[in-house]
């Protein structure tokens, strides 16, 4: 019994290999993979205790030499390393250790086996071991391949000695690690004679983006790792799982020396006929990636994985270590959702205004979820950095969002819904897992937080009604006060409105969370209970019910359209005159008082809803009522009526209810439960649309204030033109009047930014990751030419239709929609509704399942696809296309040769 204990401490096999303190992280991880069923070649380890015991007689000499190592003296390091290695290689190995080594070798592999012998540094105390999550330590310790039994002991000695090599000494010094106290475990593993080998990163090792990067070459993995052979690169996206290949001209492979195995690998020529073929087939790539994803899941973080395929086509996993990422330097960026609010290039004023809105909105939201103010105060920088302006375009800084959302203990409940609502690509999700709700140490605080959330749910409807009444009073007061205010008073009113909003606006985000949770639950119930239902059932069941503010606004415009249709001379005038001129006639009463009254009334009640309504540089109907006339005229020509819209929605709802009743005829309780959840989702959608218009009113007030201040700055000689005010930030404008500005040269600032605004060229990708200083790490601008075939996006409103693709960049310049139009756009906002309702189908480059485009498509039964990358360049204008709004596919059937 005593002998067995000694052996188990020296030569570790099976489950004993999981003892990380004896074998180090590298081999413990291999043992975990093997135990989980991954194809890891058999191995055993000489434990760290063997290293310690063998070197004990020379420990004092080693420590004395290590104490004199000066990392700044390169030559001195080399001399000390040589002395250290000589000491280690000369120390005698006890006969008992030697016997156990060979006995274990024979038992595990057989005497004639060929193995690899690898070393692994085992940390001491707080020191991290090799291949730990804190430090890869890769390539510092020696490894030996194609080792035969007669070479075994010498290779083990050399592995021990490699811990004192010059590279190891310098590496530890550079990392601030101690030169004392560590040990070395040695792994002896069956040698796999690889013919196609790879290194897989389950995330981008440069940025931490979640796309996989795979490098592969011919022969064994050492050739790929040490770059001794030409290497192919494969980039496997998590969005769509597409593979992009960059192939090398492969003239050499690294393989065994058939005549002298013990000499290690050698380079051999590659037959000419396969030199330009991929090192890995697509089937092998997908097998490697799938295996890598499973290994990542096993360890809970991105992995750097080495493996090989042998001649029989079998995959072998040789090693896996964490990808060491400096997450404090990483930033995840996306504008998949926000682009519908701030399309194209954005001015400094709009960006700074939006930046302030996000800060106030989310500060109050986190407070409502129970995050203490003292903690929010420590995260003020993140609150002000929730969005960024990159090459003139607004992006979410998703790393910041994850940090802030993680402050609430409720985040695990709605993380998945949040990621879906944001339209986040799997490529830019956060690698750090969310702590579970069941963490015992935080259970009391979590319980209190969940109780608070439950109370919010129960009282939410009343809270939203109070918010609506409060805002109506606040905005009316500020609008009235602004009418007679001087510039300083306007400044004070703007600051006052921000203070009011910052104390109340978080309830709108609580509604978003509840909407996300209802949507997630409804989708899961449909998936589980109605698995055979068509994809459009969910959207059909959401139709109908109480009209929200967005629908009321639309119906008001359609009402104006019906009166335009009843006044033929207006349409005739619009055929020959500019819309502004016709509006001036209507405003003077030329075409009767009723139409002018309706347009003015709409502008007063709903005038902050328009194209790009959150961009302060863009006019809205409150400022420019002629916009309403243009939209109404399009509806009038298309024969659109309020009754037709309501009937279309009622029909979709009725059809959905019938299909649901058929599917769940034998399950009445399930049907009632699902209908209850869908009713909740409809309520929260209506609340969301109502409060989103309140946001438009806040931005509308800011637009009026800053345009008035712009005119005043011109009179004071501080600006060239009043409209140049949009090229200043909010604080630069307000500070000019209340004494907090840091410069008087507003004219110069505006001129620089105006020139930059008009010179912006191509745009960045929708999703990307930066590491380090952001502007120095932005990706190359990406363009994709038009093409044919099947294109894939995110299906968001079901239906299969054919029509003519009309690529629209600016809806104000598109005046002739046809009956068979498939609208292709970069993104839309509420001001696009007039054109969307004229379309047979809608395809946009950006957006999510909860974006305006998707909701509108579902609401009015229009087949819709969002998030189809580069749709406006890949789908030719005028092409005959077929789109499937459920599957998210567009097929280009025929291009317009003209």
pLDDT digit string (tens) for 761-782?
778 888 898 888 888 788 865 4
Phi, psi of 303 (to 5 degrees): -125, 150
295 in the same domain as 342:
no
Residue 692 belongs to some domain of the structure? yes
Q: In this predicted structure, what is the pLDDT of residue 131? A: 54
Distance in angstroms (rounded) separating the CA atoms of residues 395 and 515: 23
236 in the same domain as 353:
no
CA distances from 299 to 15, 36, 218, 318, 784 (A): 17, 11, 28, 16, 37
Residue 133 near residue 324 (C-beta atoms within 8 A)? yes
Range of the domain at 183: 2-190
pLDDT tens-digit series, residues 336-385: 889 889 989 999 999 999 999 999 999 999 999 999 999 999 999 999 99
470 in the same domain as 384:
yes
Residue 775 belongs to some domain of the structure? no
880: pLDDT strictly greater than 60 = yes
Q: In this predicted structure, what is the pLDDT of residue 463? A: 95
795: pLDDT strictly greater than 80 = no
pLDDT tens-digit series, residues 798-825: 788 999 999 998 877 776 778 899 999 9
Of residues 17, 48, 44, 51, the one with CA closest to residue 129 = 48
For the ranges 8-12, 402-406, 733-737, 833-837, which has the lowest average pLDDT?
833-837
Question: Residue 4 — pLDDT band, cuts 50, 70, 90?
Answer: very low
Residue that terminates a domain, selected from 706, 741, 758: 758
866 in the same domain as 833:
yes
CA angle 684/652/864 to nearest 5° reads: 75
Domain of 247: which CATH number?
Answer: 3.30.470.20
Residue 671 belongs to some domain of the structure? no
pLDDT tens-digit series, residues 671-729: 999 999 999 999 999 999 999 999 999 999 999 999 999 999 999 999 999 999 999 99
Strand 794-797 versus strand 864-866 pairing type: antiparallel
Residues in CB range of 240: below 8 A, 6 or more apart: 792
Of residues 388, 360, 358, 363, the one with CA closest to residue 377 = 363
Residue 620 near residue 610 (C-beta atoms within 8 A)? yes
Helix (H, G, I), strand (E, B) or coil at 219: strand
Domain of 874: which CATH number?
Answer: 3.50.30.10
Domain of 101: which CATH number?
Answer: 3.30.1490.20
Residue that terminates a domain, selected from 736, 758, 780: 758
Question: Residue 8 — pLDDT band, cuts 50, 70, 90?
Answer: very low
Q: In this predicted structure, what is the pLDDT of residue 756? A: 93
Distance in angstroms (rounded) separating the CA atoms of residues 186 and 46: 5
Q: Give the distance from CA 96 to its chain's centroid.
A: 56
For residue 545, what are its two tokens? 């019910």
Residue 305 near residue 323 (C-beta atoms within 8 A)? no
370 in the same domain as 463:
yes
615 in the same domain as 477:
no
Distance in angstroms (rounded) separating the CA atoms of residues 236 and 244: 6
541 in the same domain as 515:
no
CA angle 137/143/147 to nearest 5° reads: 165
Q: In this predicted structure, what is the pLDDT of residue 88? A: 92
For residue 69, what are its two tokens? 């190592």
Within 277-410, strands assigned E span 303-310, 315-322, 330-334, 387-390, 393-397
797 in the same domain as 716:
no
Q: How many domains does the chain have?
A: 5
182 in the same domain as 39:
yes
Residue that terminates a domain, selected from 703, 738, 758: 758
Question: Residue 848 — pLDDT band, cuts 50, 70, 90?
Answer: low
The reported pTM is 0.80
Q: In 10 A of CB 241, how many CB atoms? A: 11
The C-alpha R_g of the chain, in whole angstroms, comes to 34
Question: Residue 179 — pLDDT band, cuts 50, 70, 90?
Answer: confident
Distance in angstroms (rounded) separating the CA atoms of residues 275 and 253: 10
200 in the same domain as 174:
no
Residue 781 belongs to some domain of the structure? no
Of residues 798, 800, 818, the one with CA closest to residue 808 = 818
Distance in angstroms (rounded) separating the CA atoms of residues 431 and 433: 6
Q: What is the DSSP string of 249-287?
A: ---EEEEE-TT-GGG-EEEEEPPGGGTTS-SS-HHHHHH
Of residues 554, 532, 511, the one with CA closest to residue 649 = 554
280 in the same domain as 174:
no
697 in the same domain as 551:
no
Segment 65-78 shows an average pLDDT of: 83
Phi, psi of 331 (to 5 degrees): -130, 130
């Amino acid at each position: 019994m005593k002998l067995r204990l000694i052996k188990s401490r020296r030569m570790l096999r099976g489950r004993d290999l999981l003892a990380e303190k004896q074998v180090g992280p590298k081999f413990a991880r291999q043992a975990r993979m093997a135990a989980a069923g991954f194809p890891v070649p058999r191995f055993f380890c000489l434990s760290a205790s063997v290293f310690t015991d063998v070197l004990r007689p020379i420990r004092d000499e080693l420590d004395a030499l290590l104490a004199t190592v000066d990392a700044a003296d390169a030559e001195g390091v080399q001399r000390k390393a040589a002395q250290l290695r000589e000491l280690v290689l000369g120390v005698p190995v006890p006969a008992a250790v030697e016997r156990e080594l060979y006995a274990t070798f024979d038992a595990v592999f057989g005497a004639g086996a060929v193995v690899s012998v690898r070393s692994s540094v085992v940390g001491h105390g707080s020191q991290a071991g090799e291949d730990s999550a804190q430090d890869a330590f890769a390539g510092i310790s020696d490894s030996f391949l194609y080792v035969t039994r007669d070479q075994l002991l010498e290779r083990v000695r050399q592995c021990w000695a490699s811990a004192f090599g010059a590279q190891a000494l310098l590496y530890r010094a550079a990392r601030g690690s101690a030169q004392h106290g560590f040990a070395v475990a040695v792994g002896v593993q069956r040698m796999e004679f690889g013919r196609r080998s790879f290194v897989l990163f389950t995330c981008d090792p440069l940025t931490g983006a979640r796309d996989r990067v795979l490098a592969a070459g011919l022969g064994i993995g050492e050739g790929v790792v040490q770059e001794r052979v030409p290497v192919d690169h494969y980039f496997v996206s998590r969005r769509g799982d597409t593979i992009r290949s960059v192939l090398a001209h492969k003239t050499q492979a690294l393989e065994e020396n058939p005549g002298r195995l013990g000499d290690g690998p050698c380079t051999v020529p590659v037959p000419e006929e396969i030199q330009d073929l991929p090192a890995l087939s697509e089937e092998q790539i997908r097998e490697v990636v799938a295996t890598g994803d499973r290994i990542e899941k096993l360890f809970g973080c991105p992995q750097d994985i080495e493996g090989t395929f042998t001649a029989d086509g079998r995959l072998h996993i040789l090693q896996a270590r964490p990808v060491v990422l400096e997450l404090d330097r990483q930033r995840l960026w996306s504008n998949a959702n926000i682009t519908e609010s701030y399309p194209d290039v954005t001015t400094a004023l709009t960006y700074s205004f939006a930046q302030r809105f996000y800060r106030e909105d989310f500060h109050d939201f986190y407070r409502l979820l129970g995050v203490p103010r003292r903690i929010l105060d420590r995260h003020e920088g993140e609150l002000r950095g929730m969005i960024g302006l990159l090459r003139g375009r607004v992006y979410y800084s998703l790393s910041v969002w994850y940090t802030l959302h993680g402050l609430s203990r409720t985040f695990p409940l709605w993380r998945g819904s949040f990621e879906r609502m944001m339209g986040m690509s799997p490529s830019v999700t956060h690698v750090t897992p969310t702590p579970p709700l069941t963490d015992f140490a935080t259970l009391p605080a979590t319980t209190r937080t969940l109780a608070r959330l439950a109370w919010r749910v129960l009282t939410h409807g009343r809270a939203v009604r109070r918010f609506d009444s409060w805002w109506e009073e606040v905005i009316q007061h500020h609008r009235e006060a602004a009418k007679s205010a001087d510039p300083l008073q306007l400044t004070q009113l703007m600051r006052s409105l921000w203070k009011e909003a910052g104390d109340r606006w978080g309830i709108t985000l609580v509604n978003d969370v509840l909407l996300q949770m209802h949507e997630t639950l409804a989708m899961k119930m449909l998936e589980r209970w109605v698995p055979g239902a068509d994809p459009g059932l969910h959207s059909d069941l959401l139709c109908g019910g109480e009209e929200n503010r967005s629908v009321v606004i639309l119906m008001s415009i359609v009402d104006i359209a019906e009166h335009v249709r009843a006044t033929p001379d207006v349409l005739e005038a619009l055929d020959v005159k500019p819309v502004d001129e016709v509006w001036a006639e209507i405003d003077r009463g030329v075409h009767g008082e009723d139409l002018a009254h309706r347009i003015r009334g709409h502008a007063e009640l709903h005038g902050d809803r328009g194209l790009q309504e959150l961009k302060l540089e863009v006019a809205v109907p409150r400022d420019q009522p002629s916009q309403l006339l243009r939209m109404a005229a399009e509806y009038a020509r298309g024969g659109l009526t309020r009754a037709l819209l309501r009937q279309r929605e009622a029909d979709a709802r009725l059809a959905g209810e019938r299909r649901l009743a058929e599917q769940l005829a034998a399950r009445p309780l399930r049907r009632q439960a699902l209908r209850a959840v869908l009713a909740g989702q409809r309520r929260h959608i209506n609340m969301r649309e109502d409060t989103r218009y309140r946001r438009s009113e806040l931005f509308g007030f800011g637009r009026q204030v800053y345009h008035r201040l712009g005119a005043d700055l011109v009179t004071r000689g501080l600006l060239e033109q009043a409209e140049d005010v949009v090229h200043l930030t909010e604080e630069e404008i307000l500070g000019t009047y209340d004494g907090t500005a840091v410069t008087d040269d507003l004219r110069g600032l505006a001129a620089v930014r105006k020139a930059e605004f008009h010179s912006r060229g191509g745009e960045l990708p929708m999703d990307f990751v930066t590491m380090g200083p952001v502007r120095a790490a932005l990706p190359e601008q990406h363009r994709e030419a038009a093409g044919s075939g099947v294109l894939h996006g995110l299906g968001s409103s079901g239906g299969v239709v054919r029509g003519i693709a009309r690529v629209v960049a600016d809806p104000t310049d598109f005046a002739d929609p046809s009956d068979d139009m498939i609208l292709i756009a970069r993104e839309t906002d509420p001001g696009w509704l007039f054109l969307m309702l004229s379309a047979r189908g809608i395809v946009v480059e950006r957006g999510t399942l909860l974006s305006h485009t998707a909701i509108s498509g579902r609401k009015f039964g229009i087949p819709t696809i969002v998030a189809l990358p580069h749709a406006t360049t890949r789908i030719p204008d005028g092409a005959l296309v077929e789109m499937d709004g459920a599957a998210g596919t567009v097929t280009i059937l025929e291009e317009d040769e003209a």
